[in-house]
Amino acid sequence: MAVIFEAKHIVKKFNGVPALSDGNLLCHSGRITGLLGANGSGKSTISKCITGVYHKNSGTMTYMGREVDFKSPMEAKRAGIAMAFQNLSLLPELTVWQNIVMGFETRKGLFLDDKDAKATAKRILDEFVPEFDYHRTVEELSPSEMQIVEIVKAISQQPKMLILDEPTAALEQSEVKSLFKYMRLLAQRGVGMVFTSHRMWEVMEICDDVIVFKNGQVVGSIDFDKEEKNADTIIQMITGEKKIVSVPRIYKSIPEDYFMKIENLNYNKILHNITMNIKKGEIVGIGGLSGQGQEELLLAIAGNYADIKSDINVNGQKERLNSPNKAIEKGILLIPGDRQRQGLMMDKSIYENVILPKVALKKEPFIIPKKRYMEECIETNQILSINSDSIACFVSGLSGGNAQKVVMGKWLHVDMSLLILSDPAKGVDVGAKKDMYDFVKKLVDERGISVLLYASANEELIDNCDRVLVMHEGRIVGELKGKEITDETLVELSMKGSLTRREARDNV
């Protein structure tokens, strides 16, 4: 098979930190190459470097025998390299067919040739998902339909190379099947494809060869024509060798004293039949591949979804947690993952951020007791050693680790029963990360609170949790306790979650 694209030794740094240190990729005409790796391993970064979303720091890219470096996705698309983005590139108010031809509208005389545009949209849609109503606006579509339109849009200009960045994440099972059927059709026509997915069975089914990324490097590749398809070998390659675990939490049995019991929690199409318990004084981890509903589960428990369907028992009493205020009154406190958008008011002082949750509590006085709050805030500042001159300085000027401490500081003087941490170490340096987890563990030991922790890095779960629940596609697929929690078991469970679910489906 002819090579149409080759990337060699691509390096991409963000603020001096390499996200991709040695990216290599080979794309053949008519072949589907799987791009695998954990989150942050660099597989998305290389895709975006190829299509001109990011600009590489060094390395070479050769396309059809010529060296290329695209400045924008449009330039790449004109040259014949199209990408279907995971965070879609569709305009919500425009119709499906208008989106599909966006940027490539044909003219007939003075006016746009809408007939031609509709014909193009219909031709591709019919091959892929027949009977698709392309006169609707994109905002009227379901998430999976949007993903389909995104893929069709990428295909519309007949690319020679097609990059699909986790296209199946938002798709239904049957839609994945028709996508694969269509991908095989495209492969027959000589289109080279790069396919990213976290679901092992999909990779096994559709890919001709795979390239595995880890920590910004290619750690291996397997050609299925020459070597046998073995999911375990690939999983091993993705996780790499065993890691040295720093200070694991000493496992001790916790009395059967439940703080919270959740039965059959459902939310839209994101969470399905979640049933779980949290004991008092327990640190429960939520693991799995990213985007399997973990963050939504935490938000749901923290009362962020008004129309949630669930039976939640807090301290033996049935509660409907449908507003954050209700959750806070019960001592359920959330430290959100995206602190810049969800956790902090960046252009306000530390003081204003720290007192905010108190102001909203019913039992606090109506007129703000400024002196008392000031004292509490200064105390918080000392306890957490938020490294700053005064509590009047703006949060926007703090480092990531210190900003995260402010988010935690908000809750220190509020009654706390359950602390929910959503990927708290994201963008936090190593020292601050250790401080933060030590502090959380101290809180658990001293105050007897419970903690629910979601972390995208498995080490954090291994080091800090008494128990880990692994999620896949909005369901809890497994549970690990104490010493069972290791990198291998976590990855195995989250990857095999997809394998077993698939087998279960096929047996139906």
Residues lying near another protein in the complex (CB under 8 A): 72-74, 89-94, 98, 102-103, 105, 107, 110-112, 118, 131, 133, 135, 140, 142, 266, 268-269
Cβ closer to another protein: 89 or 342? 89
Rounded least distance, CB 505 to another protein, Å: 17
The residue (of 112 and 204) whose beta carbon lies closer to another protein is: 112
State the minimum distance, in angstroms, from the CB of residue 75 to another protein: 9
Contact between 18 and 58 (Cβ < 8 Å): no
CB of 142 to another protein, least distance (A): 5
List Cβ neighbours of 89 (8 Å cut-off, separation of 6 or more).
Answer: 73, 150, 153
89 versus 340: smaller Cβ distance to another protein: 89
SS3 270: coil
**Residue 395 phi, psi dihedral angles, 5° rounding:** -65, -30
Taking the CA atoms of residue 215, residue 489, residue 448 and residue 436 in that order, the dihedral angle to the nearest 10 degrees is -10
Amino acid letter, 486: T
Nearer to another protein, 172 or 484 (CB): 172
Smallest separation, CB 13 to another protein (Å):
22
Listed residue (499, 493, 421, 492) closest to 460, CA to CA: 421
Give min distance, CB of 41 to another protein, in A.
24
Nearest to another protein of 89, 315 (CB atom) = 89
CB of 272 to another protein, least distance (A): 9
Q: Write down the least CB distance from residue 216 to another protein, Å.
A: 25
In 3D space, the residue among 266, 218, 157 whose CA is nearest the CA of residue 23 turns out to be: 218
Rounded to 5 degrees, what angle do the CA atoms 59, 61, 62 make? 145
For 304, which DSSP code? -
186: closest CA among 29, 385, 396? 29
Indicate the residue among 92 and 369 with the shorter CB distance to another protein: 92
Cα separation, 354 vs 349, whole angstroms? 9
User: From CA 224, how far away is CA 257, in angstroms rounded?
Assistant: 52
Cβ distance to another protein smaller for residue 110 or 244: 110
Measured on CA atoms in the order 319, 320, 323, 324, is the torsion positive or negative? positive
- In the bound complex, what is the minimum distance in angstroms from residue 120's beta carbon to another protein? 14
Give which of 354, 488, 494, 471 is closest to 414, Cα–Cα.
354
Q: Which is nearer to another protein, 287 or 474 (CB)?
A: 474
From the centroid of its chain, how far is CA 44?
12
Q: Please, what is the minimum distance in Å from the beta carbon of residue 460 to another protein?
A: 33
**Sequence-ordered list of residues with C-beta below 8 angstroms from that of 473, at least 6 positions apart, any chain:** 272, 292, 293, 497, 498, 501
Select 266 or 290, whichever has its Cβ closest to another protein: 266
